[in-house]
Amino acid sequence: MLLAGSALAQGETPLQEKFDAALSSRDQLAWLKLTSSEPNQVGSPHDKFIADWELDQFRKFGWDAHIETFQVLFPTPISEAVEMGSFKATLQEKPIPGDTSATARDYALPAYLAYQGDGDVTAPLVYVNFGTQEDYKQLALMGISVKGKIVIARYGKVWRGVKPLLAYKHGAIGCLIYSDPADDGYGEGEVYPKGPMRPPQGIQRGSAMDMMLYPGDPLTPGIGATADARRLTPKTAGSVLKIPALPISYADAKVLLAAMTGPVAPANWRGALPITYHVGPGTQPVHLAVKSSWDIKPAYDVIATIKGAQFPDQWVVRGNHHDGWVEGASDPLSGQVALLDEAKAFGALMKTGWRPRRTIVYTSWDGEEPMLLGSTEWAELHADELKKKAILYVNTDGNSRGFLHASGNQDLGTFVTGVAAGVIDPEANVSVGARVRAKTLTAAAAPGANAEIKAEAKHLSDPGSDLPVGAAGSGSDFSSFLDHLGVTTLNIGFGGEAMGGGVYHSRYDTFEHHTRFEDPGLAYGKVLSQTVGHAVLYAADSNLPLLHPADFARAMSGDIGKVEKLADSQRAAAEEQKTLLAQHAYAVAADPTEPHGEPVPLQAVPNFDFTALDQAGEALTKSADAYEAALAVHSATLSPVQAARLQALMQTIDQTLLNEDGLPGRPWYKNLIYAPGRYIGYGVTTLPGVTEAITEERWSDVPKFIGLTAQALNAYAARLDEATALLKG
Amino acid sequence: MLLAGSALAQGETPLQEKFDAALSSRDQLAWLKLTSSEPNQVGSPHDKFIADWELDQFRKFGWDAHIETFQVLFPTPISEAVEMGSFKATLQEKPIPGDTSATARDYALPAYLAYQGDGDVTAPLVYVNFGTQEDYKQLALMGISVKGKIVIARYGKVWRGVKPLLAYKHGAIGCLIYSDPADDGYGEGEVYPKGPMRPPQGIQRGSAMDMMLYPGDPLTPGIGATADARRLTPKTAGSVLKIPALPISYADAKVLLAAMTGPVAPANWRGALPITYHVGPGTQPVHLAVKSSWDIKPAYDVIATIKGAQFPDQWVVRGNHHDGWVEGASDPLSGQVALLDEAKAFGALMKTGWRPRRTIVYTSWDGEEPMLLGSTEWAELHADELKKKAILYVNTDGNSRGFLHASGNQDLGTFVTGVAAGVIDPEANVSVGARVRAKTLTAAAAPGANAEIKAEAKHLSDPGSDLPVGAAGSGSDFSSFLDHLGVTTLNIGFGGEAMGGGVYHSRYDTFEHHTRFEDPGLAYGKVLSQTVGHAVLYAADSNLPLLHPADFARAMSGDIGKVEKLADSQRAAAEEQKTLLAQHAYAVAADPTEPHGEPVPLQAVPNFDFTALDQAGEALTKSADAYEAALAVHSATLSPVQAARLQALMQTIDQTLLNEDGLPGRPWYKNLIYAPGRYIGYGVTTLPGVTEAITEERWSDVPKFIGLTAQALNAYAARLDEATALLKG
């Protein structure tokens, strides 16, 4: 579908041309070099420098800009140790000559997981693979418990913070996480500095907050962390971990894992270290100790505005964070310099006399790395205003070479497709939309392609179809907008060709690494600026609402089908397990020379009545089709008054998807359609109220959330019907 | 279903009890120690010693025994080299103290692939993953050719001999095969002597004959290799490879692979070496040279007989080979000593005055390793007699700890199930049938279980269902019986708990390794003897035919469905590819900084008329059901004359599945239902005439083989109908 209501996306227009002409990969390179020259974590001198420098830049470009400061809990390590016998893990990377890691002078955080729980423990290790719920089920089958043990998990599969959380819930007293070379080291490509991937001594820092409970400052859930806010303590804050945890390198993990005994790890638990992976428990105890300084530190959000000429109270908000774990060249500064370049280009447009019809708000967030501190506190503080005024939040983060990816509210599919049709890919000389379409279609044609990509390709093989906007969970600064406020959200970027991830959250995420391996010359930095810039231009100026509900309705039909299948398959699995247990099948099949146990018992799954959800899905599809049809006929002839009323109806439609009481056990998460999976982390769980009630065997929550979710979808459809009536009327 | 017509399988009977009582793990251990004390490849002194010693044993046990000698081509290396710059691969394993590898004194074959083509070549390396057809398609997509190069492939996925054959067909001038530690080295478990898996210096020897064309002596296809047989030359023999090839260890492969350049290998191409796997071509040339002595050597088959008291011209044949690649303790001698123990137990029965009703023929084959030489030549020489007299061939090979597996003619399912119900598993204290059922059911209940095992479990969850008998291709001495003669074939063994394979075809396949890791105390050696012994006892004495066609009919319905789906999915893939090529989608999606190409073009797939095959499948099911029903009603009241006529009809029924002209391009393979896949090797391709005509785009062969295959199934059904009429009559 093409975008209606604006000429902007129908190929190059003078305004887009002017915008594009002001963009400059060279400027982005210079800014990247400057901002990634020193460690820039929350509370560091360079973090403050970046905020101040950006404030100046915005003002120079002609924006109205200021810094908003929040006071956030941000513990940093005082001392830490991982030891086994005479072996001591090296908990900091060595500088690499010729790299910023060797020229930066400020304090670089050592190996470290923010919001782990300080402690000093000694116990045998158990290797838990990725440390997921499935992995603990496998451990039960193997008859191995982590109670009183220290677990060692490898990075991957689920978000980092899930690993120590599940370890704690299973009785472990400490948690190590290491980067297996299979996942982002030599198994994936040559290691830095020869290639892009993680060298043996590389360490992935990161947050271990229980952000699935709530993100942002742990001491001020739901409210802005202003200086005078009412605060919890680190001990009473639910999102702070209760056990000590540290990340380690694979050079160090190899020593610990090679000393393990016990059964050989299952085939899909093995990484690329040249050892036999054992599950343990190991015979040699490991000592893990972490002590932190639990400080409140300032987080500096830079907020810059161009006031809308016609609709100043309709805001297009766009953000990217500016804090890193060390130098953070890729993550986040590659996205940050693209944002600045856009700001510069909007400044250039303003110098020609242009003003957007709506207000444009550019935000440079602090404290994303510890867990979305700057964006969450700002969104919480300005919640009411944002829910009223924000028509769109566009987020980016680290950027790289390759293919466009977009996620967020799925009613943005048509909008994204229109934007992507107007930006040329620098490598393939077709639009970035055409390129991602070709990528999906060829990947789906490859032998062994999975059913999901085949289904996506089937949809995309119709050249008139919209590009997919993936459902989003968390993992970057869009979370508060999508999950908490229900503001229409788009998270966007490029990647997939640079084998990235090898220096993620390490001391080697540097200017040199980024410009050699991730995006030479920042060609895709400029493409990102174009893509986001065109999206913002369109959103700020369009006569018609951004949202096209047909893609969303299609996604919901799929998700409703999935959750019903989930209940069925879980019911069948419980029945199958019951039979097998009665037959002692597990005991009979087990190898008696190895430890073994029985599976974690599954509760019998009741039959649920999904009718309300089925009907809501069907009604949504019907209302979406009617709206699209009415829009096609009447959009060209709307009066300004009608257009304004249509905009008013549509700009908050995604907020109909919220439940004010939130999800069970985590009231901060209010979106009934999208949430970070409770034990997945960044990854999304769609229809989370229903889905997680099933997976967590909370049977009474299933009908309750079938009802609430159906109600939300019905509210969305009702809003569409109002808009359709308006269009026809 | 229980076996009808014999009390043998209905729990222990005096005869089975007496048989079992005569078995002895201790005897098996002593014999294993003796026979695996020296290298025993074809033509070696110890190979001759084993044959002579076994002849004596059979005679001592009271059998009528003799040795049949064939004269077979068996080249062995004179000189060989794999070099890169100053690096020279070590092409022999070091002895390990305390292991037979250190005490044996005779000549141990070095790294070596029998029937490779001598040569001396120097060229860059290309890494081709497993060297399968899919892998060459991936290479085409990556724009990489092996023409004029030496390929290096890892063991696994397809049979060894397919790798150099496909390399040659794609223009390579040499082939190295190495054992990746992911597949049978430290990636799977601790390495020998600490654990069972392949140590860095371990080398997998083996045959590189094109046995998919024909197995056995390359110089005498289709006829027995007697001293005076008419012979081809090594140059004119179609099954001899045209390029030099050698296997190497992973210690050596690591050096070669670490020096590779070019694109990083795709994710599923990477093994467990601590390197980044590149596809190449490498920049450093590799030198590969092999020179062999192309000798004719004697192969000694030991043939021992107990004449049937009632039906001397109905033979139950049972075999296992006695030649190894070095000491061959697991492969083949663990199966061989079980066979001898059975022979001893039958001897003990004979001493009590027992005689079987049918003739029992025990065979100890020579030359299986170079490629089924002894069994093939014997079967070819005695083809007419075997087709008339053999009612069953039971094969075993190396044996290990774990679960019963059975493959061969699928009308043996009921028979196998009955036998498996009467043998107790020494670890789980349930029948070996109940244990393998529990194993399949629990594996299918595990998260991530594939559709195939789920379908099998669904069938097995009915406790009255038969155990599966897998379709068989090749890979052991049953091939001539199943694939060439159509004699009803059962290949059987235990395994799955010992993480075997780590010393397969290496110098470390020793008595010490086998009794430490594969089958301590040979407990499963005795279980194998019991299982095969009971099967032979039943087959020799049963009043009723062994075969129950319902399982076969069910398998055929499934296979017919599969081949129709194959045609459909290949047609869809060709259409999809055509569209994508027209859109230049591959070029647009490719990373321009890496070499890339376009996919190997797929021909448009015509629409085929599968009606004849569908109807044959339905008729077979109907006839099978009618036969089973008639048997159930009338089997107890058959007169001896009727029983004899029924036996005469049923004992050659599996020969109705043959096509005298064989499969396209490989006339030796006559079975239209089962064949080793042309480019798979040991692994079976069912309905091979139709299936391979589709995959190899030989469109005119598709209707031809639909017709021939339908005809074969119809002939089988017609034979059943005759038997049903007889039963009713």
> Which CATH topology does B14-74+297-425+468-542 take?
Aminopeptidase (3.40.630)
CB proximity under 8 Å: B 401-420 to A: 402
- Please tell me if residue B188 touches chain A, with a CB cutoff of 8 Å: yes
Indicate yes or no: CB of A276 within 8 angstroms of CB of B187. Answer: yes
pLDDT digits (tens, 9 = 90+) for A90-119: 999 999 999 999 999 999 999 999 999 999
Name chain A contacts of B134, Cβ cutoff 8 Å: 447
pLDDT digits (tens, 9 = 90+) for A267-286: 999 999 999 999 999 889 99
pLDDT digits (tens, 9 = 90+) for B181-238: 999 999 999 999 999 999 999 999 999 999 999 999 999 999 999 999 999 999 999 9
Indicate yes or no: CB of B181 within 8 angstroms of CB of A497. Answer: no
Question: Which CATH number applies to A76-294?
Answer: 3.50.30.30
- Please tell me if residue B438 touches chain A, with a CB cutoff of 8 Å: yes
Report the length, in residues, of chain A: 729
Tokens representing B327 are: 């000491």
Residue A10's pLDDT is 43
Residue A14's pLDDT is 85
Domain covering A24-72+299-400+469-542: architecture = 3-Layer(aba) Sandwich (3.40)
Helices (H) and strands (E) in chain B, counts: 24, 18
> Which CATH topology does B76-293 take?
Glucose Oxidase; domain 1 (3.50.30)
E strand intervals along B369-484: 390-395, 402-408
Backbone angles phi, psi at B663, to 5 degrees: -90, 155
Q: Which of A289, A259, A251 is nearest to A85 (CA)?
A: A259
Other residues' Cβ atoms within 10 Å of the Cβ of residue B56: 11
Residue A386's pLDDT is 98
What order of strands is seen across the sheet that includes strand A119-127?
Answer: A87-88, A76-84, A285-293, A119-127, A150-154, A174-178, A245-248
Contact between A69 and A299 under an 8 Å Cβ cutoff? The reply is: yes
Indicate yes or no: CB of B589 within 8 angstroms of CB of A445. Answer: no
Tokens representing B698 are: 């030989």
- Please tell me if residue A580 touches chain B, with a CB cutoff of 8 Å: yes
Indicate yes or no: CB of B441 within 8 angstroms of CB of A573. Answer: no
Percentage above 90 pLDDT, chain B? 97
Chain A closest CA to B12's CA: distance in Å?
21
Same topology, domains A24-72+299-400+469-542 and A550-728? Answer is no
Residue B3's pLDDT is 43
How far is it, in rounded angstroms, from Cα B662 to Cα B641?
A: 35
DSSP character string of A531-544: HHHHHHHHHHH-SS
How far is it, in rounded angstroms, from Cα B552 to Cα B712?
A: 13
Name chain B contacts of A461, Cβ cutoff 8 Å: 579
Other residues' Cβ atoms within 10 Å of the Cβ of residue A289: 17
pLDDT digits (tens, 9 = 90+) for A561-576: 999 999 999 999 999 9
Find the mean pLDDT for residues A30-56. Answer: 98
Taking chain B (729 residues) in runs of 10, the rounded mean pLDDT of each run is 41 82 98 98 98 98 98 98 98 97 97 98 98 97 97 97 98 98 96 97 98 98 98 97 98 97 96 97 94 97 98 98 98 98 98 96 98 98 98 98 98 98 97 97 93 95 96 97 98 90 95 98 98 97 96 98 98 97 96 94 97 98 98 93 95 98 98 97 96 98 98 98 95
Name chain B contacts of A447, Cβ cutoff 8 Å: 134, 137
Three-state secondary structure along A391-437? EEEEECCCCCCEEEEEEECHHHHHHHHHHHHCCECCCCCCEHHHHHH
Select the residue of A137, A189, A434 nearest B588 (Cβ to Cβ). Answer: A434
- Please tell me if residue A589 touches chain B, with a CB cutoff of 8 Å: yes
Chain A closest CA to B50's CA: distance in Å?
34
Other residues' Cβ atoms within 10 Å of the Cβ of residue A110: 18
CB proximity under 8 Å: B 358-377 to A: none
Name chain A contacts of B499, Cβ cutoff 8 Å: 264
B576-579 contacts at long range (C-beta below 8 A, 24 or more positions apart): B576/A445, B577/A445, B577/B601, B577/B602, B578/B602, B578/B604, B579/A461
Residue of B nearest to A520 (CA): B593
Outline where A200-282 has alpha helix (H): 250-258
- Please tell me if residue A189 touches chain B, with a CB cutoff of 8 Å: yes
Interface probe for A, chosen from B441, B588, B591 (most Cβ of A below 10 Å), is B588
Residue of B nearest to A600 (CA): B446
Indicate yes or no: CB of B589 within 8 angstroms of CB of A447. Answer: no
Residue B500's pLDDT is 67
Virtual torsion, Cα A383, A387, A392, A395, nearest 10 deg: 20
Residue A501's pLDDT is 80
Q: Mean pLDDT across chain A, nearest whole number?
A: 96
How far is it, in rounded angstroms, from Cα A266 to Cα A280?
A: 12
Q: What is the ipTM of this complex?
A: 0.94
Residue A6's pLDDT is 45
The residue to which tokens 């002593």 are assigned = B30
Q: How buried is A464 (Cβ within 10 angstroms: 0-12 exposed, 13-18 middle, 19+ buried)?
A: exposed
CB proximity under 8 Å: B 226-265 to A: 264
Tokens representing B542 are: 């049963």
Size of interface A-B (CB pairs under 8 A): 126
CB proximity under 8 Å: A 632-671 to B: none
Indicate yes or no: CB of B589 within 8 angstroms of CB of A497. Answer: no
Other residues' Cβ atoms within 10 Å of the Cβ of residue B725: 13
Q: How buried is A516 (Cβ within 10 angstroms: 0-12 exposed, 13-18 middle, 19+ buried)?
A: middle
Name the DSSP class of B268.
Answer: G
Name chain A contacts of B272, Cβ cutoff 8 Å: 270, 272, 274
Where are the domains positioned within chain B? 14-74+297-425+468-542, 76-293, 550-728
Indicate yes or no: CB of B580 within 8 angstroms of CB of A264. Answer: no
DSSP character string of A269-293: G--SSSS--B----SSEEEEEEEEE
pLDDT digits (tens, 9 = 90+) for A517-530: 999 999 999 999 99
- Please tell me if residue B597 touches chain A, with a CB cutoff of 8 Å: no
Greatest alpha-carbon span in chain A = 81
Answer yes or no: is pLDDT of A478 > 80: yes
How far is it, in rounded angstroms, from Cα A679 to Cα A673?
A: 17
Residue A500's pLDDT is 67
Tokens representing A104 are: 């930066």
Question: Which CATH number applies to B550-728?
Answer: 1.20.930.40
Interface probe for A, chosen from B442, B453, B458 (most Cβ of A below 10 Å), is B442
- Please tell me if residue A137 touches chain B, with a CB cutoff of 8 Å: yes
Select the residue of B434, B576, B591 nearest A497 (Cβ to Cβ). Answer: B591
CB proximity under 8 Å: B 317-356 to A: none
Name chain A contacts of B577, Cβ cutoff 8 Å: 445
- Please tell me if residue B270 touches chain A, with a CB cutoff of 8 Å: yes
pLDDT digits (tens, 9 = 90+) for A66-80: 999 999 999 999 999
Judged by phi (left if over 0) then psi (alpha if -120 to 50, else beta), residue A477 lies in alpha
Q: How buried is A105 (Cβ within 10 angstroms: 0-12 exposed, 13-18 middle, 19+ buried)?
A: exposed
Residue A447's pLDDT is 85
Name chain B contacts of A570, Cβ cutoff 8 Å: none
Indicate yes or no: CB of B189 within 8 angstroms of CB of A447. Answer: no
- Please tell me if residue B73 touches chain A, with a CB cutoff of 8 Å: no
Residue A7's pLDDT is 41
Residue of B nearest to A180 (CA): B274
Which residue type sits at B49? Answer: F
Answer yes or no: is pLDDT of A658 > 60: yes
Select the residue of A427, A430, A583 nearest B438 (Cβ to Cβ). Answer: A583
Helix or strand run (H / E) with residue B337: helix B335-351
